[in-house]
Amino acid sequence: MSALSSKRPTVVGRIVTAVLTIALCLFALFPFYWMVASAFDKYVGTTGALWPSQVTLAHFAYVMTEGKFGLYLRNSLLVALVVVVASSFIALLASVAVARFRFAGRRAILLLVLVIQMVPMEALVIPLFLQAKQLDLLGKLTGLMVVYTALALPFGVWMLRGFVAAVPIDLEEAAYLDGATWWKMFFHVLFPLVVPGLVATSVFSFITAWNEFVFAMTMLGPQIDKYTVSIGLRAFFGLHANDWGAIMAGSTIITIPVMIFFIAVQKRLAGGLTSGAVKG
Amino acid sequence: MTESTLKNVGAGQSPAPTGSAPRPAEATSGSPRRGAAQARRRRTSKLIRPWALLAPGLIVIGALLGWPIIKVVLLSFQNYGLRQIVSGTWNFNGGANYADVLGSAQLWQVVLPNTVVFAILAVTATVVLGTLVALLLAKLGPILRGIVSSVIMIAWAMPAVTGTYVWSWIFDADAGIANQLLMSMGWMDQPFNWFTNRFTFYAIVLLNVVHHGFPFVAITVLAAFLGVPREHIEAAEMDGAGPWRVFWLIVIPQLRQVFAIVIILSTIWDFKVFTQVYLMPGGDGANRDVLNLGVWSYTESFGQNKFGYGSTIAVLLTVVLLIVTVIYARTILSQEDGS
């Protein structure tokens, strides 16, 4: 029985399905597997085998000490944390406005939120770099925090409005009946009920800040002690030979937190991108 | 906040359906006059409140996304280099940058094909593979389906930066596993440098982008598949339709909107591929054969300090994307109005 047919599959059909499923999993997993396997391989890139010949933690040790990855992780976490708090809060306020109020310009705002997400980074990075230079924000994490908060906002608003709209309006009205002001209602009724949405939005903001590359590279420039993890790896690329063991160890460290968060909110993420069917 | 609620405010009745609803000490019950004043205040705030709530978001978006877009357009009409950065003055040169960019052989022979042909191939490959995977997932039982869905999520969760490094490592000329396997199987005599040739370079970018993009399509299309009413499928099967006819005549028509969104989103993403090109060997502008619009704009600006010229390229890319986006916005907003 499958979802698209009510007929029982034949034996041949079952075998084909099994083979395809295994092939799909191998294809999906191979880069991740190869990254982790290379990161632990003492003789990385010399054996031609598909598994580590001798397992070692040396690449990780090198990356964390010589590679300054402890510092980069701290920088990235700091930036991501500020971005998560700032963008979630601002996005929540805006999403309440578009989900709970009917006002002139609401549709234009929704359109703006949609359209602004599509502007390519390369168009933003030139003017923002020039602006940051004038404001003396180059080489500082503050500049990145502000930019990432803005980058995470549109998707946050888009996603949260669905959660806000899903809160029954009766609950709000009950709070008013009890004499609550709008702000009391917001913090005591609406806020607790949209926490799941805030979690999903926070995860998305975190991933945005953690993965971002173009702005970090441009705005931090030569300020190595301010590097975030996504640009911290570039130091391992030598002029003649690349230290692939270290690059893969660093890549593993960057990827693991993203992967955990991603799988935790996988359903909401796919839904958030195509939502619109949710009434808002 | 309907009229009836406002009328009830002074009545002092509070049939709160949940225990979590707050009961503030200074409840307004019993005083009709205060109730009326409050109703008036609420009506005024109903007009102001949405804008007050939107204000922080609009300010941030306006200052960090809106104004830069205006500024990049202004820059695109200027000869803006290091001297202008230092002096902080404008230096308009009419449409000279546009004439330059649109008249350059680099654009028509290298950059535009690398951008447009790549996007078409990537979108086609991503959507076809994603749909096939969704079909496969639909055939599986619920438990296995959940497991395989999580497995393909791993491909999606891979950050662009690390994903690109891993693919660069797999195809590394000296020690990459791809060359080693091909040589040990006797298909190649000596290591092949995949990154110096424009076509093999983009074949790897394609592999990277499709590998990263198909899970989104698969999961979204699968959700739509599962939403197709079983009775429709069974009815068609009763009428003697085979799996292909069921798929094309029953399933696909129900999925038109989902496919429209998936295709448009993929188009937007694949047009502005930057990291996946820039971080590959030679992709940062060192190899001019593999430039696409995004990387070209970036290297002209930050490599050559020609910020005006780079802005012009960025504006052209943005215009292309905006056209695609308007189609996206129309699709998604018309869907909303229909619900």
ipTM value of the model? 0.89
Structure token digits, residue B161:
């930066």
> Is A91 within 8 Å of chain B by CB?
yes
Are A82 and A46 in a shared domain? no
Beta bridge partners of A41: A55
Distance from the B6 Cα atom to the nearest Cα atom in chain A, whole angstroms: 9
Hunting for tokens 């970036």 — which residue is that? B298
Determine, yes or no, domain membership for A86: yes
> Is B312 within 8 Å of chain A by CB?
no
Are A120 and A46 in a shared domain? no
Average pLDDT, chain A: 87
Are A238 and A124 in a shared domain? yes
Chain A positions in Cβ-Cβ contact with residue B56 (cut-off 8 Å): 90, 93-94
Chain A positions in Cβ-Cβ contact with residue B8 (cut-off 8 Å): 177
Mean pLDDT (whole number) for A183-201: 88
- Compute the distance between CA of residue B228 and CA of residue A3 in angstroms, rounded to an integer: 9
Interface test with A, best of B137, B149, B158, B266 (most A CBs within 10 A): B158
Assess contact for A194 and A163: CB atoms under 8 A. Answer: yes
Judged against a pLDDT cut of 80, whether residue B138 lies above it is answered with: yes
Judged against a pLDDT cut of 80, whether residue A222 lies above it is answered with: yes
Contacts of A161 (CB under 8 A, 6+ apart): A95, A98, A99, A278, A280
pLDDT (0 to 100) of residue A27: 96
Distance from the B335 Cα atom to the nearest Cα atom in chain A, whole angstroms: 6
Segment among A275-279, B32-36, B37-41, B234-238 with least mean pLDDT: A275-279
Q: In chain A, how many domains are there?
A: 2
Beta bridge partners of A2: A5
Judged against a pLDDT cut of 60, whether residue B216 lies above it is answered with: yes
Q: Residue A122 is part of a domain; what is its CATH number? A: 1.10.3720.10
pLDDT in tens, B9-43: 333 333 333 334 344 444 444 455 566 766 766 66
Are A180 and A198 in a shared domain? yes
pLDDT (0 to 100) of residue A239: 62
pLDDT (0 to 100) of residue B112: 94
Chain A positions in Cβ-Cβ contact with residue B226 (cut-off 8 Å): 3
Chain B positions in Cβ-Cβ contact with residue A153 (cut-off 8 Å): 57, 60-61
Assess contact for B16 and A178: CB atoms under 8 A. Answer: yes
CB contact under 8 A, B155 and A154: no
Per-residue H/E/C for chain B: CCHHHHHHHHHCCCCCCCCCCCCCCCCCCCCHHHHHHHHHHHHHHHHHHHHHHHHHHHHHHHHHHHHHHHHHHHHHCECCCHHHHHHCCCCECCCHHHHHHHHCHHHHHHHHHHHHHHHHHHHHHHHHHHHHHHHHHHHCCHHHHHHHHHHHHHHHHCCHHHHHHHHHHHCCCCCCHHHHHHHHCCCCCCCCCCCCCHHHHHHHHHHHHHHHHHHHHHHHHHHHHHHCCHHHHHHHHHCCCCHHHHHHHHHHHHCHHHHHHHHHHHHHHHHCCCHHHHCCCCCCCCCHHHCCHHHHHHHHHHHCCCHHHHHHHHHHHHHHHHHHHHHHHHHHHHHHHHC
- The separation between the first and the last C-alpha atoms of chain B, rounded to the nearest angstrom, is 23
Chain A positions in Cβ-Cβ contact with residue B66 (cut-off 8 Å): 116
Which residue in the set A2, A110, A146 is minimally distant from B64, CB to CB?
A146
Chain B positions in Cβ-Cβ contact with residue A244 (cut-off 8 Å): 169, 172, 175
Mean pLDDT (whole number) for B320-338: 74
Assess contact for A189 and A175: CB atoms under 8 A. Answer: yes
Please report the residues numbered 124 through 183 in chain A whose beta carbons come closer than 8 angstroms to any beta carbon of chain B: 124-131, 133-134, 146-147, 149-151, 153-154, 157, 170-182
pLDDT in tens, B256-299: 878 888 888 899 899 989 999 999 999 999 999 999 999 999 99
pLDDT in tens, B57-101: 999 999 999 999 999 999 999 999 988 888 888 889 988 999 999
Mean pLDDT (whole number) for A27-55: 91
Are B168 and B61 in a shared domain? no
Give which of A256, A272, A257 is closest to A196, Cα–Cα. Answer: A272
pLDDT (0 to 100) of residue A240: 63
Assess contact for A256 and B161: CB atoms under 8 A. Answer: no
CB contact under 8 A, A189 and B297: no
Domain boundary among A41, A56, A71: A56
> Is A28 within 8 Å of chain B by CB?
yes
Structure token digits, residue B145:
């389906």
Give which of A251, A260, A272 is closest to A206, Cα–Cα. Answer: A260
pLDDT in tens, B147-172: 999 899 899 999 999 999 999 999 99
pLDDT band at A246 (very low <50, low <70, confident <90, very high): very high
Determine, yes or no, domain membership for A140: yes
Are A94 and A114 in a shared domain? yes
Which residue in the set B72, B144, B216 is minimally distant from A126, CB to CB?
B72
CB contact under 8 A, A233 and B53: no
Determine, yes or no, domain membership for A280: no
Determine, yes or no, domain membership for A179: yes
> Is A205 within 8 Å of chain B by CB?
no
Are B161 and B260 in a shared domain? yes
Rg (CA), chain A: 24
Distance from the B267 Cα atom to the nearest Cα atom in chain A, whole angstroms: 11
- pLDDT over 90, % of chain A: 49
Are A188 and A50 in a shared domain? no
Are A81 and A50 in a shared domain? no
pLDDT in tens, A138-147: 999 999 999 9
Q: Residue B218 is part of a domain; what is its CATH number? A: 1.10.3720.10
Are B229 and B162 in a shared domain? yes
Contacts of B147 (CB under 8 A, 6+ apart): none
Average pLDDT, chain B: 84
Please report the residues numbered 9 through 38 in chain B whose beta carbons come closer than 8 angstroms to any beta carbon of chain A: 9, 13-18, 20-24, 26-29
B2 or A248: which leads in pLDDT: A248
CA B118 to chain centre: 16
Structure token digits, residue B147:
């497991």
Please report the residues numbered 89 through 128 in chain B whose beta carbons come closer than 8 angstroms to any beta carbon of chain A: none
pLDDT (0 to 100) of residue A58: 93
Are B265 and B207 in a shared domain? yes
Chain B positions in Cβ-Cβ contact with residue A109 (cut-off 8 Å): 54, 58
Are B56 and B186 in a shared domain? no
Are A191 and A265 in a shared domain? yes
Are B127 and B267 in a shared domain? yes
Burial profile B205-243: b = 16 or more Cβ within 10 angstroms, e = fewer: bbbbbbbbbbbbbbbbbbebbeebeeeebeebbeeebee
Contacts of A1 (CB under 8 A, 6+ apart): A8, B141
pLDDT (0 to 100) of residue B33: 59
Give which of A159, A157, A188 is closest to A171, Cα–Cα. Answer: A188
Range of the domain at A128: 60-274
pLDDT (0 to 100) of residue B34: 61
Beta bridge partners of A55: A41
> Is B152 within 8 Å of chain A by CB?
yes
CA dihedral A43, A48, A51, A53 (to 10 degrees): -40
CB contact under 8 A, B154 and A29: yes
pLDDT band at A269 (very low <50, low <70, confident <90, very high): low
CB contact under 8 A, B27 and A27: no
Own/partner pairs for A233-236, CB < 8 Å, 24+ apart?
Answer: A233/B161, A233/B162, A233/B165, A235/A67, A236/A63, A236/A67
Please report the residues numbered 224 through 253 in chain A whose beta carbons come closer than 8 angstroms to any beta carbon of chain B: 230, 233, 241-242, 244, 247-248, 251-252
pLDDT (0 to 100) of residue A272: 56
CA dihedral B39, B41, B42, B46 (to 10 degrees): 140
- Compute the distance between CA of residue A40 and CA of residue A63 in angstroms, rounded to an integer: 12
CB contact under 8 A, A178 and B233: no
Range of the domain at B245: 96-338
Mean pLDDT (whole number) for A238-266: 85
> Is A53 within 8 Å of chain B by CB?
no
- Compute the distance between CA of residue B81 and CA of residue B83 in angstroms, rounded to an integer: 5
Structure token digits, residue B130:
């994603």
Determine, yes or no, domain membership for A153: yes
Segment among A5-9, A105-109, B198-202, B213-217 with least mean pLDDT: A5-9
pLDDT (0 to 100) of residue B247: 82
Are B162 and B265 in a shared domain? yes
> Is B305 within 8 Å of chain A by CB?
no
Give the DSSP letter string of A171-195: HHHHHHHTT--HHHHIIIIIHHHTH
pLDDT in tens, B116-126: 999 999 999 99
Question: What angle do helix axes B160-170 and B198-227 make, rounded to 10 degrees?
Answer: 130
Whether this prediction's pTM lies above 0.80 is answered by yes
